Each structure stands twice: as C-alpha cells, then as structure tokens.
Amino acid sequence: MSRWRSESLRIVLRPTETLLLRAGRVGGNTFPRQSIAPLDDGQGREALAESLTSPGWRAGRLDVVISNALVRYVVTEPPGAFLSRSEERALATARLAAIYGETARDWRLVTQSQPPDAGVFAAAIPAALFDAVRAAAAKAGIRRLRLRPLLDVAGARAKGPFANGWWVLAEPGWWCLLEAHRGAWRQIVSEPCVPEWPEHLALRLERAVLAAGRAPSPMPVRVQAVGTPLPDRIDHPAGWTGERVEPKGGGAWHWEAL
C-alpha cells in the first residue's frame, strides 16, 4: 500500500473558502494548508477534485468539517411520544420544509433522539454540497469519507455534557447558541455574527430566552470559539455564570486541532 493511502486529510467547508489541511506536526514542521474556492459553483468543485488528486494532498481518508453557516439546524415541537428513526426524520424534514421551502426535503439529514417532551434535534446539509464532496472524493479514489457539522466536531471536544444552560460556539462570521434543559436541547439560534460578537453575547442570550416566552433567569454559559479569538471575559447576562471551553494551552480552537 502506498504511504498516502494511510494518511488522513481534513477539509473545512466554509461559505468563503474550502480549506485543505492535515492535523499535527512532523519533525517540528506544521503540515501545510491550502485555501481554494468554496463549493457553491463549478469552479470550486473542480478545484477540490484537482487538489485531492494532486501529490501534495492525496489521502486514504477524508474528514470533512462543515461550517455551521452551511448547515441548517432545527429543534422540532415535542412529539409527546417516542418515535422511530424514520418518524424523527419525517418530523424534522417537515419542520425544515416549513422554514426553508420544499427544496429542504432533499437535504441530507441527521437527527438526534431526545425525550418526547424535548423535540427532535436535526442537522441538515444541502444535497448539492454533500454530493459535491462525495463526487470529488470518488474521483480521487477516496473511499473512507466522513462528513460532520462543526457543531458535532466541536461538541466532542467540549468538556462534559451540557445538562442545563447555554453553549455558545463561535466561528468567523457565524455563531450558534444552544440551550440545554435536563440534558436535552431546547432551542438553537444559528446566525451570522460580527467580529465583535463577544460584546453582543449578553443581549443576544436575553433575547433568545424572551423569544421562547420565558423570563431570563440565571443560567450557566459555556463559550467555545473555532478559528476566531476567544474573549478573556465572557459577557453574559447579569447573575449568570460563564465558562471558557478551551483546548490544552488555552485560547481558541484551530481547525486542525479539533
């Protein structure tokens, strides 16, 4: 077996670019990274296919991390009963179609089971994006392919479960705010954010609670940042508590190190 067949390549799909990178260091040297066009047009898809077949980026395994800006998340109304996997998908698909239109019914969907009183949590990836990655990998002869939203990848690195409170995950130009209650996701806000997002966090959390029809009450907030600076101070509502979710050594997470 050739050496490159045993190596792993990570691709980060972002609205503004596609990052190709390898995690780790060899002999004190960081693996290179390459930025190509995003996959929303033919030029970007061709560039990815060419890169995956070039000597510098060939790999046997492909780990694809998808920016939260390219994923659509929903928490459905509580079904009031335990559902089968197909029933969960049907409920989540109907909710996505109600928000984004009938094209959402063709998106690639992953659901997370929750108690009947908590609703179904789902992540959806547009079919065109999913198919573009699969086609480029197939052209390069890569059979081991894993696609995951950033929310899933970063969550695996966070410390411990989110039983109650808010988890804030920020990346350049986008953030997700998720509220957990008794170990289940109650709501999610996924939207653009400005570079000064730490200054607006307290107000946005208060608005999210009020939009859900509840009065703000003290809750813990855990803040994690990927590819963007993590603030020294967490600006949370008065009376709440804050915690920074950091990698070893502190600071923000890098795309390579997730």
Domain range summary for the chain, segments of one domain joined by +: 3-68+127-150, 158-244
Residue-level pLDDT at 195: 94
* Token reading at 184: 């289940």
Q: What is the mean pLDDT of the chain?
A: 89
Class of domain 158-244 as given by CATH: alpha beta
Distance CA 67, CA 16 (A): 10
pLDDT by residue (tens digit) across 11-41?
A: 999 999 999 987 544 444 455 788 999 998 8
Task: Report whether CATH 3.30.420.40 matches the domain 3-68+127-150.
Answer: yes
Sign of the CA dihedral running 130, 111, 177, 188 = positive
pLDDT by residue (tens digit) across 121-180?
A: 999 999 999 999 999 999 888 888 999 999 999 998 886 667 889 999 999 999 999 999
CATH topology match: 3-68+127-150 vs 158-244: yes
- Higher pLDDT: 41 or 45? It is 45
User: Contact at 8 Å (CB) between 234 and 223?
Assistant: yes
Q: Give a three-class secondary structure readout of 115-139.
A: CCCCCCEEEEECHHHHHHHHHHHHH
